[in-house]
Amino acid sequence: MINNRALVYINKEYLIYKPFVSRIEKLLNLNKKEGFKLKLKDLNNLKVNLNKKTLSVIVEGEEVYIKLFKFPNKSKYKIYEMINNELEYKFKNIDNIMFTYKILGSTKKEIDVLVFCMNSSRLDVLKKLLDKHVDIRAVYPLQVCALNSCKKTIEENKYIFTFLYENNLYFLACVNNNLMCNSVVENFKTCELKDEINRFTNKCISSGIDSQINKIYFLNVPYKEIEEYIPKKFKSEDLGEFDINEIGVF
């Protein structure tokens, strides 16, 4: 139901809750539903009744770990178990890790799977709210939402997308409409841009991207200040500013 949808935005310090307003209600200015901002320390003072709401959650400041796995092509239904076992081997304790996967290609013997993992410890806040029968629709990382909002203006096949929001700098490397590499830099200062870009390109190469990437897009970054810090082999483009109220969650 559209009436029961709400958006929750989670940060290190606070949580914003915003119910969806349909177009008709916007036209008629019937803004009866109100959102609120809640500091995570004050969670006990929750006033809104969250019964029977489906939440879409956006998490800020988390890095998405991306890895390409090759599995034997036995059956589609066992992929989930195989990924589970691989992650357990790597991370030892996977209680706090949530993952999804995308199948890139398959031959008779092998299947290529791209796995995305994210830490879910920030969402423990929602565990308390779940006692009241709240439905979680999906959890999205903020940088992916930002990328999707600019998808129409991007024409390249291989590029790096940088995004600055509240002193956190996000790097995303995309090849053929698949997210291949991601990193997050906290407390970013403009003078360190060159080092960070180089670090990120090295990370891309070590995580298996074949060819060099030549194009960078910048979103919500003071372009004129950082223009001098961009390494010369890149062609760069500025995508302007970012308004968090315009995230259309897909």
* Residue 107, SS3 per DSSP: coil
**How far is residue 43's CA from residue 21's CA, in Å, rounded to a whole number?**
24
Closest CA to 249 of 26, 116, 55: 55
Number of residues that bind other proteins (CB under 8 A): 28
User: Which one of 82, 136, 150, 244 is in contact with other proteins (CB under 8 A)?
Assistant: 136
Residues 64, 68, 70, 76, CA torsion sign = positive
The token pair at 202 is 């090295």
Whose structure tokens read 């200062």? 189
Tell me, residue by residue from 195 to 224, as one string, x for binding to other proteins by CB under 8 A and - for no binding: ------------------------------
User: Least distance from C-beta 148 to other proteins, angstroms?
Assistant: 6
* From candidates 30, 40, 103, 130, binder to other proteins by CB under 8 A: 130
Taking residue 139's Cβ as centre, other Cβ atoms within 10 Å add up to 20
Q: Which stretch binds other proteins (CB under 8 A): 12-20, 35-43, 95-103, 234-242?
A: 95-103
Nearer to other proteins, 46 or 94 (CB): 94
Nearer to other proteins, 150 or 205 (CB): 150
Residue nearer to other proteins on the CB measure, 127 or 232 = 127
Name, in order, each residue with C-beta under 8 angstroms of 181's C-beta and a sequence gap of 6 or more: 66, 171, 172, 173, 200, 203, 204, 207, 209
Choice from 10, 38, 113, 123 touching other proteins (CB under 8 A): 123
> Taking CB under 8 A as the rule, does residue 20 contact other proteins?
no
- Cβ neighbour number for residue 199 with a 10 Å cutoff: 14
Interface residues with other proteins (CB under 8 A) are 64, 94-95, 97-100, 116, 118, 120, 123, 126-127, 130, 136, 138-141, 144, 147-148, 151, 174, 177-179, 250
